[in-house]
Amino acid sequence: MNFDIVLGAQEIYDRLSKVNPEQLENTVNSILNKLRNDYNRGRRTFIIDATPGDLNINFKSKKISKESLDDKDYAWAWGTSIGFYIGYKITLVLDYKTKMPAYFMIDRGSPNDTTIVSKILPILQRKKIIRKGDCILMDRGYYSYENYKITLQKFHVIPLILTRSKFNKEKLKSMLNYPLHLFHAKSNLKKVKKAYEKLINEFLEKIDKRDKIKFHRGFIEDFFKLLKEGLGFKQLNRYTLNSMSKYTSIVVLLAGIITYLRINSKTDFQKFSEGKFY
């Protein structure tokens, strides 16, 4: 590639400070979509998971109440890996085939994972990231009968969410009757019902393969390590949602370019995160 101008760090910073966060996010998504070649995609599998966006605020030396953060973009939160923290939750969607990021979402504090499914799927559908027949892999934090039902009936996507010990397959099966909107479809009803039955049967077959789901879903943990250890996403000093969104967009873009260059195995990520990749 030939570049006539190479911008300095300060000039890049000045330009980014004037960019609308949503415009930057859309630009990043557009670049990543082209790199992933989403135009001839077939059925895809996506991994959805979240990681803490810890602002590293020292709350041990000074008491910080929930009320004192009411007017802030960040809030008290909880992460299973780090405990209590102050900041955000970043939900990431990875394309399993290409190992590249497809979308990210930032939430204030740490809303329960079970609430994220109904929030993020409409966005992924609207942006044409997920399509009918695709699969999504998620860990137990997203587990609920309602999330299985919504994903299958409303979005016609296969939700491979890791089950809990009390999971009752027959109970879930009884909840997956034909959704009413099928009967209002302009297409042939018999054909539409058959497609839905095929989707449900595929889901019921795959949901039992827990070990396989765990193995495939585990890749995103390595990706988060790349973001935090390799690309500096661990040291966050972003105290507004706009600033956090811009920073996340740039880091996600860099990570996407890295994986596009085929630096996308567990070993590669480990070396890159430790500064040993050369």
How far from the centroid of its chain's Cα atoms is residue 137's Cα?
10
pLDDT by residue (tens digit) across 81-125?
899 999 999 999 999 988 899 999 999 999 999 999 999 999 999
Average pLDDT over the chain reads: 88
Mean pLDDT over 159-170 rounds to: 93
Own/partner contacts of 218-223, CB < 8 Å, gap of 24 or more, are: 219/47, 219/94, 219/96, 219/99, 219/266, 220/47, 220/49, 220/92, 220/94, 221/49, 222/266, 222/269, 222/270, 223/92, 223/94, 223/99, 223/101, 223/255, 223/259, 223/269
pLDDT score, position 278? 52
pLDDT band at 1 (very low <50, low <70, confident <90, very high): very low
Residue 130 falls in which region: left (phi positive, over 0), alpha (psi -120 to 50) or beta: beta
- Please give the model's pTM, rounded to 2 decimal places: 0.88
User: Which amino acid makes up residue 28?
Assistant: V
277 pLDDT higher than 70: no
8 Å CB contact between 179 and 153? yes
Q: Could you tell me which residue, 145 or 14, shows the higher pLDDT?
A: 145
Q: What is the dihedral of CA 22, 24, 25, 29, to 10 degrees?
A: 140
Helices 21-36 + 241-260 axis angle, to 10? 10
264 pLDDT higher than 80: no
